[in-house]
Amino acid sequence: MAAFVSTAASASLDYPEANTLVPDGVKRYEVSAFPERVVLLPGQNSATEHSVSWRTNSAVEHSIVQISRAENTPGLHLTAYQVTGDYTVLETENGVAHHHQVVLDELQPDTLYAYRVAGDNTWSDWYQFRTPATEFADYTALYFGDAQNAVRSHYSRTVREAILTAPRAKVMLYAGDLVNSRYGVHDDEWGEWFDSAGWMGASVSQLPAAGNHEFVEDEHEYRHLVEHWPAQFKVAGNGPEGLQDTVYYVDYQGVRYIALDSTEALQSDEKARLQADWMREILADNPNKWTIAFHHHPMFSVSLGRDNPPLRNYWQPVYEEFGVDLVLQGHDHTYGRGHDIGVAADPEASGPMYVVSVAGPKMYLVSEQAEQSMNRNAEDVQLFQVIDFTADTLAYRSFTVTGELYDAFDLVRNEDGAVSVTDKAPDTPEIRCTNPSPMRETRCWNGTELIHAPVSGKGD
């Protein structure tokens, strides 16, 4: 019988908390000769540029990608060419790692490629990805809220269900807090995140935004970006001065994605204003069919006791002036969807649609204001979102981790360029917390009490 199985009800909460599946003293994610944590990120002009990042031990001092147009034959080495890059040294509890980054900037649009990356006298498996077209064409993207806690244990099924639901998705977008970064085992947490993403991280274009848990506080309580972020994610790098690691935009097959750093914005009015001014510049000349902004902290909070006025002061006017279609967010560990939030929800309102979602197991409680003013909200449910882009319609669908449709709407662009909303949410009750013994008054689940939670009953 497993060590943590108990016949007592879970209400006692006397079992140990944990944030990863890695036991104390075990090096599950020790660096090695084998290339791992392979991740594919689009450049500003994604039809011709992507970057690839991966990790090895310090013996590997060459950063090499072999890439070829994908063919049916296994003889990919006969047509592959070699691209080299650089690496960053990062020492963690799992050893001294070389984090490699290679830019592939001579790609052909709408072309299927196969590539592999180098280890120490070995290679990764061959991965495939198709570059986007230069002009708009229909495609599907996936959006995830916070993973953060118990990532391998609980978040992994969310991301796997998502790719089963939308197996040809071309983009996977993350609204921050990919990991927790609070217990001194940062590398194990990142190991679990990459384990959960698996081959998808290397084959589907990844668009991450940094959350507050991608930052750690110094002795002055100022938050600084963790070293893992720039080592692992070579984003487009076209953001404002000083924020290029976390603020960027990508044009992907007729959609402009804008990643913002809400953590820095909430620490500094100057950095909030800097990002707003930068957005005005890149939105003043935007030829794309659809525009998506994504960042961690919500414009309109869903959970109890939270509010982010600087984002409304600096960013909301830009969204409205330039017609941003959809704003994707995390942080609140609940679900909420609506327009400029007033006294009551209006499914026919216009302007940017704001969404907050959660993919991992940490769950908060919905505020009374959010219940009254948002079109749809939820507690205690892990979700992923499927977004289908066509020339005239952005179809948004939010699914539970068990594959049930929870929320849906269409944004329809009319002949005059205006966007109207068609609410397609199912006629089902909104989900509320079912945990009989929450660890905190404002939370349904803390996220760290779940890995070793005892079984409290027998099945049917």
pLDDT in tens, 157-212: 999 999 999 999 999 999 999 999 987 779 999 999 999 999 999 999 999 999 99
Phi, psi of 270 (to 5 degrees): -60, -45
The Cα–Cα gap between 435 and 444 comes to 6
Confidence at residue 14, expressed as pLDDT on a 0 to 100 scale: 63
Burial of 142 (0-12, 13-18, 19+ CB in 10 A): buried
Residue 195, both tokens: 């384990």
Asked whether the beta carbons of 229 and 245 are under 8 A apart, the reply is yes
User: Per-residue pLDDT for 400 more than 80?
Assistant: yes
**What mean pLDDT is predicted for residues 91-103?**
97
- pLDDT, the chain, mean: 93
Task: Give the domain ranges of the chain.
Answer: 37-130, 139-423
Lowest mean pLDDT among 2-11, 319-328, 383-392: 2-11
- Cα 267 to Cα 98, 111, 262, 374: the distances in Å are 31, 42, 9, 27
Asked whether the beta carbons of 351 and 324 are under 8 A apart, the reply is no
CATH architecture, range 37-130: Sandwich (2.60)
User: Per-residue pLDDT for 5 more than 60?
Assistant: no
- Half-sphere exposure (Cβ direction) of 275: Cα atoms closer than 13 Å: 32
Residue 249 pLDDT class (50, 70, 90 cuts): very high
Q: What are the pLDDT digits (tens) for 219-246? A: 777 889 999 999 999 999 999 999 999 9
Confidence at residue 341, expressed as pLDDT on a 0 to 100 scale: 64
Confidence at residue 13, expressed as pLDDT on a 0 to 100 scale: 55
Lowest mean pLDDT among 97-106, 159-168, 342-351: 342-351
The Cα–Cα gap between 283 and 278 comes to 9
- Amino acid identity of residue 361, one-letter, is P
Beta carbons within 10 angstroms of residue 155's beta carbon: 29
- What residues contact residue 362 under an 8 Å CB cut-off, 6+ apart? 146, 148, 149, 333, 443, 445, 446, 447
Q: Which CATH number fits domain 139-423: 3.60.21.10, 3.30.1510.10, 3.30.43.10, 3.30.300.30?
A: 3.60.21.10
Quick one: three-class SS letters along the chain? Answer: CCCCCCCCCHHHCCCCCCCCCCCCCCCCCCCCCCCEEEEEEECCECCCCEEEEEEEECCCCCCEEEEEECCCCCCHHHCCEEEECEEEEEEECCEEEEEEEEEECCCCCCCEEEEEEECCCCECCCEEEECCCCCCCCEEEEEECECCCCHHHHHHHHHHHHHHHCCCCCEEEECCCCCCCCCCCHHHHHHHHHHHHCCHHHHCEEEECCCHHHEEECCCCCEEECCHHHHHCCCCCCCCCCCCCCCEEEEECCEEEEECCHHHHHHCHHHHHHHHHHHHHHHHCCCCCEEEEECCCCCCCCECCCCCHHHHHHCHHHHHHHCCCEEEECCCCCEEEECCCCCCCCCCCCCCEEEECECCCCEECECHHHHHHCCEEECCCCEEEEEEECCCEEEEEEEECCCCEEEEEEEEECCCCCEEEEECCCCCCCCCCCCCCCCCCCEEECCCCCCCCCCCCCCC
Q: What are the pLDDT digits (tens) for 50-64? A: 999 999 999 999 999
Asked whether the beta carbons of 376 and 336 are under 8 A apart, the reply is yes
Burial of 222 (0-12, 13-18, 19+ CB in 10 A): exposed
Lowest mean pLDDT among 5-19, 109-123, 140-154, 349-363: 5-19
- Half-sphere exposure (Cβ direction) of 66: Cα atoms closer than 13 Å: 15
Lowest mean pLDDT among 93-107, 175-189, 331-345: 331-345
- Cα 160 to Cα 207, 389, 404: the distances in Å are 17, 21, 14
Residue 109, both tokens: 């649009």
Question: Can you give the pTM of this predicted structure?
Answer: 0.94
